[in-house]
């Protein structure tokens, strides 16, 4: 049976959502498919309005309960950085997963990460590193992006871009005005494809 892949993301301004769609494209190129989940919001409408956050998509399942992920073989997590770490919305999701932690429901599942930051030094790598403790506690097998399929793009110094061997990435600029570039979307698609192929080796 083909591996079951979930793409779990939080996106306040849409950058991570665009990367999530690019990851899905790569999974489909590899012959697979994935289900998208958006992590539940924790901020009030009042605060979201003050942060100029647009409405969330209504056609993507909201992830409220970690049990929703128990049937998947691999999960790609899309994370917009907060202070070099993952946002409270994602932390709140993880903090509901004590049952899965104790029972080992996520143990042996594959995980990959993709990241959005406002600035170049703002956490493309530290956000991934900060996520490791949670992944390790659950027993996820972390699949890095590495450089194998994306060396030319990740090593490109002619243009500013996000992404690292830890995972695909984009830069939103401080005011959110920058959008994912063709290079960044290409890397995200390559990650989705390679991630699917990796999980498929264990779940042919
Ligand atoms: C409270 C807060 C903290 C943030 N912290 C960082 C940070 O540490 N480094 C950084 O580069 N960007 C930071 N940002 C910018 C976000 O990472 C950026 O808005 C996000 O990557 C855009 O992705 P999205 O459109 O999917 O929400 C922060 C944004 C907010 C609202």
Residues 6-44: pLDDT tens digits? 999 999 999 999 999 999 999 999 999 999 999 999 999
Average pLDDT estimate for 161-179? 97
Cα 159 to middle of ligand 1, angstroms: 21
Tell me, rounded to whole angstroms, the distance of Cα 189 from its chain centroid.
Answer: 12
Q: How confident is the model at residue 117 (pLDDT cuts 50, 70, 90)?
A: very high
Q: With 80 as the cut, is the pLDDT of residue 179 above it?
A: yes
DSSP state of 82: B
Query: Ligand 1: which residue has its CA nearest to atom 28?
Result: 82
Q: In angstroms, what CA-CA distances link 87 with 104, 148, 187, 189?
A: 24, 29, 23, 24
How far is 193 from 28, CA to CA, in rounded Å?
7
Res. 130: pLDDT tops 90 = yes
Q: Is the CB of 81 under 6 A from ligand 1?
A: yes
**How far is the C-alpha of 181 from the C-alpha of 87, rounded, in Å?**
23
pLDDT digits (tens, 9 = 90+) for 132-158: 999 999 999 999 999 999 999 999 999
CA of 185 to the centre of ligand 1 (A): 18
Give dist(CA 129, CA 105) in Å, integer.
22
Residue 111, both tokens: 């995980």
How much is the pLDDT for 204?
86
Is 162 a pocket residue for ligand 1 (Cβ < 6 Å)?
no
5-202 — its CATH code? 3.40.50.360
Ligand 1 atom nearest to 11, measured from its CA = 26
pLDDT greater than 90 at residue 101:
yes
**Domain positions in the chain:** 5-202
Q: How confident is the model at residue 1 (pLDDT cuts 50, 70, 90)?
A: confident
Which of 115, 105, 164 has the alpha carbon at shortest distance from 137?
105
Taking a C-beta distance cutoff of 8 angstroms, is the pair 7, 78 a contact?
yes
CA distance 194 to 45: 38
Residue closest via CA to ligand 1's atom 3 equals 82
CA 74 to chain CA centroid, nearest Å: 12
Q: Provide mean pLDDT across the span 44-64.
A: 97
Answer yes or no: are the C-beta atoms of 63 and 9 closer than 8 Å. no
Q: Quick one: average pLDDT of 92-115? A: 98
How are beta strands 110-117 and 141-142 bridged, if at all?
parallel
Four-point Cα dihedral 38, 2, 24, 55, nearest 10: -20
């Amino acid at each position: 049976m083909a591996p079951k892949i979930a793409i779990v993301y939080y996106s306040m301004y849409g950058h991570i959502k665009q990367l999530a769609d690019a990851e899905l494209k790569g999974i489909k190129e590899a012959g697979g498919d994935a289900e998208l989940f958006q992590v539940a919001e924790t901020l009030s409408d009042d605060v979201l309005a003050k942060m100029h956050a647009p409405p969330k998509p209504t056609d993507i399942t909201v992830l409220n309960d970690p049990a929703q992920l128990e049937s998947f073989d691999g999960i790609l997590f899309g994370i917009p950085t907060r202070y070099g770490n993952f946002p409270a919305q994602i932390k709140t999701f993880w903090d509901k997963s004590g049952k899965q932690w104790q029972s080992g429901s996520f143990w042996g599942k594959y995980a990959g990460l993709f990241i959005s930051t406002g600035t170049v030094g703002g956490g493309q790598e530290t956000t991934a590193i900060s996520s490791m403790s949670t992944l390790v506690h659950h027993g996820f097998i972390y699949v890095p992006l590495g450089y194998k399929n994306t060396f030319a793009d990740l090593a490109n110094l002619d243009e500013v871009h996000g992404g690292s061997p830890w995972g695909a990435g984009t830069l939103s600029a401080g005011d959110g005005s920058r959008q994912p570039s063709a290079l960044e979307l290409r890397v995200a698609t390559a990650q989705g494809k390679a991630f699917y192929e990796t999980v498929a080796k264990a779940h042919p």
